[in-house]
Amino acid sequence: MLQNRKSFRSVLAKSLFPSVSGLMAFLLLLSAAHFSQGVEIGEQIERSGDEIMVCGQLFHTTAPVVLWTDPKGYDAYRVERRFGKFEKSSWKESVKDGSLDSPNRYGIRKDLLTAKQLEEVRGGGWTLPMLEEVVDQFVMHYDVCGVSQLCFKVLHDRRGLSVHFMLDIDGTIYQTLDLKERAWHATISNSRSIGIEIAGIGAYPAKGKEVLDRWYFPDKEGGTLLRPPRTLGTLALRKSPFFGRPDRSEVVVGTVQGVELYQYDFTPEQYDSLIKLTATLCRIFPKINCTYPQDDQGNLIPHKLTDRQWRGYQGVLGHYHVQKNKTDPGPAFNWEKVINGANQLLGK
């Protein structure tokens, strides 16, 4: 009976479509008709404004996100400098003045790929399942620039570096590259990590903490105001005017890499967006555990991980966990607030 059905279908197909090309044309037409149901040619697809891009696919974060493809975005794929006179911003001009070694500020996540996989992705052919196998760390930085516009200027124009995300003081997340790219932000972790630069002027030892006095001022109610120096000029904030405050009014004193440092906390808007982004990344990338480096007693490790610890670590970590000469995101960074908040969003 089954054989008779197959024979009948075969005869029917041959009678209706005497050639393979005719059958293929019919199938393509049928597929197009099915795909176009409810969709008009040339119809614009609107973004919600909270999406990040991973392997060309969009994922919601519920936080404000500006992509490199958006107006006022920061595009790390461009080889020319973003700021300064346009006629002096080309790669040719950069080579001439000796400031940049490469036209690109990013690369391929090649360290963890086989030779066959490397050939597959050289043209940008990352699949999400393949990327999920490679990415297992989310690295936190502070930018020591204060605002994201200046951060991109320093990274892209001056240093020839990159980072996947920048988080401005008003809570806006800027994505500069697809997460399939190997951004240059954390040396040995670059191939396996995603990086974010959180806008903040940084942390300082006692002798250098006067820098904080140029950014933070007491208000009449006993709180603290974040007020970037006027010398920065236009701040390019999405929320303007923006009146910022650190999440905790008092300066935070803590030890990182064995050095006592002073730092003001990040803004509530930054924490809100960072919690949402962290939860999003932990959901997209199963190997990024929603936790931070802890010792046997469950306390935060405030220094570089050992080589063995780093190799086995999968989760959220600071730049100072990767490199001994780094102190970001500093002693004021509230790890429990970020991780607990993200886990709540993940239903854990």
Is 60 exceeded by the pLDDT of residue 279?
yes
Spatial distance between the Cα atoms of 66 and 70, rounded to a whole number of angstroms: 6
Where in the chain are the domains? 52-204+253-345
Instruction: Decide: 229 and 279 in contact? Cβ < 8 Å.
Output: no
Per-residue burial over 54-69, b = 16 or more CB atoms within 10 Å of its CB, e = otherwise: bbeeebebebbbbbbe
**pLDDT band with cut points at 50, 70 and 90 for residue 3:** very low
> pLDDT > 70: what percent of the chain?
89
**pLDDT band with cut points at 50, 70 and 90 for residue 26:** low
Question: What would the mean pLDDT of 192-208 be, rounded to a whole number?
Answer: 97
Is 60 exceeded by the pLDDT of residue 236?
yes
Give strand ranges (E) for the chain: 51-54, 57-60, 65-67, 106-108, 137-142, 165-167, 173-175, 181-183, 193-198, 216-218, 224-226, 252-256, 259-263, 315-318
pLDDT value of residue 240: 85
Question: What would the mean pLDDT of 137-152 be, rounded to a whole number?
Answer: 98
pLDDT value of residue 25: 54
> pLDDT > 90: what percent of the chain?
74
Cα–Cα distance list, 15 to 6, 197, 249, 271, 309 (Å): 14, 64, 81, 66, 67
**pLDDT band with cut points at 50, 70 and 90 for residue 5:** very low
Can you name the residues that pair with 317 across neighbouring β-strands?
139
Instruction: Determine whether 283 is exposed, middle or buried from the number of CB atoms within 10 Å of its CB (0-12, 13-18, 19+).
Output: middle
Q: Domain 52-204+253-345 maps to which CATH number in 3.90.1170.50, 3.40.50.2000, 3.40.50.300, 3.40.80.10? A: 3.40.80.10
Is 60 exceeded by the pLDDT of residue 337?
yes
Spatial distance between the Cα atoms of 264 and 251, rounded to a whole number of angstroms: 5
Residue with the bigger pLDDT between 89 and 195: it is: 195
